Structure 1
Amino acid sequence: MPHAIGFSLDQPAPRLLVSVRDTREAVEAAGAGADLVDAKDPDEGALGSLAPDTVRAITLAVGGRACVSAVAGEAAGLGDLVTRIRVTAACGVGMVKVALSPALAADPDLERLAGALGALGTPTVAVLFAEDGPRTEWLPNLALAGFAGAMIDTRGKAGLRLTDHLTLSALTDFVMACRRLGLLSGLAGSLTLDDIPRLSGCGPSYLGFRGGLSVGSDRRGRLDPARVSEARRRLAPVAA
């Protein structure tokens, strides 16, 4: 399933995920070198979902120049989780991201979703919040449930960053646990361009950005294509 969206567990460097709010930003991000154009609403927090029509428009606008992922929000339970993933996958995206609470990530009944997720045919990544102290013990449960990957993000966007919550050692342990289970891994959470070298060293499948690549570092402001290009450039030496 990871290969279906152009990611490999043994790739030499993280791919670049850039969150966008509309078709204009999507085209700019893809043109500036984003590997994953991530449709989400920055005005609605870390995992704010856009209207399905907007997600479809973004997918069409990118036109295959990058993989389009979309945020399905935060699931309240197993039934809500499946519904959110199904609605978002129907927009034609290449990957769905959905946030899980600690209780849901550790729920032994999560395994029952394997058939439903497999039938959708769209890779789904579970988003775990750094504030919740994500545990590597949850990852086998996600793998059994049919998730293609797991990522860590920050719920709050008004101060503390990913590395304020978790050490580089803890992030590396998370990434390596994902790798052992055949899961993609992602790291995000108020990242800046200067985070690229040290977080790349943790070995994630991708690094996710919004505010750090926006005008004035304001995640609610417009995306800055020049910063996207710079992020692409800084990732390139790691891959060389």
Structure 2
Amino acid sequence: MPKLLVSVADPAEAILALDAGADLIDAKDPAAGALGALPEATIRAIVAAVAGRRTVTAVIGDHEDPGAALDAAARVAGTGVDMVKVGLFPGPGRARLVADLGRALAPQARLVGVLLADRNPDLALVPAAAEAGFAGMMLDTAGKAGGLLTLMGLDRLAEFVALARRHGLMAGLAGSLRVSDIDRLAPLGADLLGFRGGLCEGLDRRRPLRRDAVADAAARLGAVAAPRPAA
């Protein structure tokens, strides 16, 4: 069953999420776009606060220029995070970017490509990422007003998860998810479900995380994963 990824904006939120049951701590600036990057110093501080107790991931920012994305990925990889998440926005040069990222960083960094459900995601990049040495692929959303489940039905999400798995990649789902979405998404077989706004005060991703909401999400995932008693 999926693990719980929680996006955090600073070390204090990282510790809150860790203590409340998050499996992965994702460094992200919620005020700087869909995949807004935190300053490198803040990412390093989050890595230090977590101190190896959980997997730490970080996004590189909303870079539609392939050269800028490659440079940003290299800088984030240098912060000591366990995984580097790279947005694969539509446009020319995406397949080349995937290959270049793999060649430059895959030997020393676990790369995760992020496709955006509301930006015409190119699923041909899934096998390309596997060939380039990526560790995983995620589906997320650029806009946060609707959410992943308003853009893609369960059948299409299941197809994405199956495609990633066929190519040996970790599969993740995110994009304005709510705790109530877990029951529908967990059976699809993704490796992780990513949350931010659904766990924040007022369901606003720019406001602080709520410890009780993170704990609720962790408990819901645990309940879905628990074996049912025999009849």
Do structure 1's residue 60 and structure 2's residue 48 form an aligned pair?
Answer: yes
Q: How many angstroms does 1:110 deviate by?
A: 3.6
Query: Which amino acid in 2 is paired with 1:127?
Result: V
Alignment of 1:177-188 (within 5 A): 177-188=163-174
Structure 1 counterpart of 2:115: 128
Structure 2 counterpart of 1:163: 149
* Distance (whole Å) between structure 2 residues aligned to residue 102 and residue 78 of structure 1: 11
Query: Which amino acid in 2 is paired with 1:236?
Result: G
Gaps of 5+ in 1: 1-12
Counterpart of 2:106 (choices 118, 124, 129) is 118
Kept in 1: contact 2:106–2:132 (CA 8 A): no
Percent identity over the alignment? Answer: 47
Structure 1 counterpart of 2:74: 86
Q: How many angstroms does 1:106 deviate by?
A: 4.9
Structure 1 counterpart of 2:199: 213
CA 1:52–1:109: 2 relative to 1, 3 Å: closer
Alpha-carbon displacement from aligned partner over 1:148-185 (angstroms, at most 9, x marks no partner): 1111111012x211111111100000000000000111
* Distance (whole Å) between structure 2 residues aligned to residue 161 and residue 144 of structure 1: 30
Structure 1 counterpart of 2:86: 98
Gaps of 5+ in 2: 227-231
* Distance (whole Å) between structure 2 residues aligned to residue 82 and residue 43 of structure 1: 22
Kept in 2: contact 1:104–1:110 (CA 8 A): no
CA 1:109–1:97: 2 relative to 1, 3 Å: closer
* Distance (whole Å) between structure 2 residues aligned to residue 71 and residue 93 of structure 1: 10
Query: Which amino acid in 2 is paired with 1:195?
Result: D
* Distance (whole Å) between structure 1 residues aligned to residue 64 and residue 43 of structure 2: 22
RMSD: 1.5
Structure 1 counterpart of 2:225: 239
After superposing the two structures, state which structure 1 stretch, 141-150 or 75-84, moved more.
75-84
Do structure 1's residue 69 and structure 2's residue 69 form an aligned pair?
Answer: no
Structure 2 counterpart of 1:137: 124
Counterpart of 2:12 (choices 24, 32, 57) is 24
Q: How many angstroms does 1:109 deviate by?
A: 6.4
Structure 1 counterpart of 2:138: 151
* Distance (whole Å) between structure 1 residues aligned to residue 41 and residue 142 of structure 2: 25
* Distance (whole Å) between structure 2 residues aligned to residue 109 and residue 81 of structure 1: 8
SS at match of 2:118: helix
Q: How many angstroms does 1:76 deviate by?
A: 3.0
* Distance (whole Å) between structure 2 residues aligned to residue 83 and residue 97 of structure 1: 13
Q: How many angstroms does 1:71 deviate by?
A: 0.9
* Distance (whole Å) between structure 2 residues aligned to residue 176 and residue 30 of structure 1: 29
Q: How many angstroms does 1:105 deviate by?
A: 7.3
Kept in 2: contact 1:105–1:142 (CA 8 A): no
Q: Count matched residues.
A: 226
Q: Compare the two structures and name the one with the higher helix fraction.
A: 1
- TM-score between both structures, scaled by the size of structure 2: 0.92
Structure 2 counterpart of 1:196: 182
SS at match of 1:57: helix
Query: Which amino acid in 1 is paired with 2:151?
Result: H
Q: How many angstroms does 1:130 deviate by?
A: 0.7
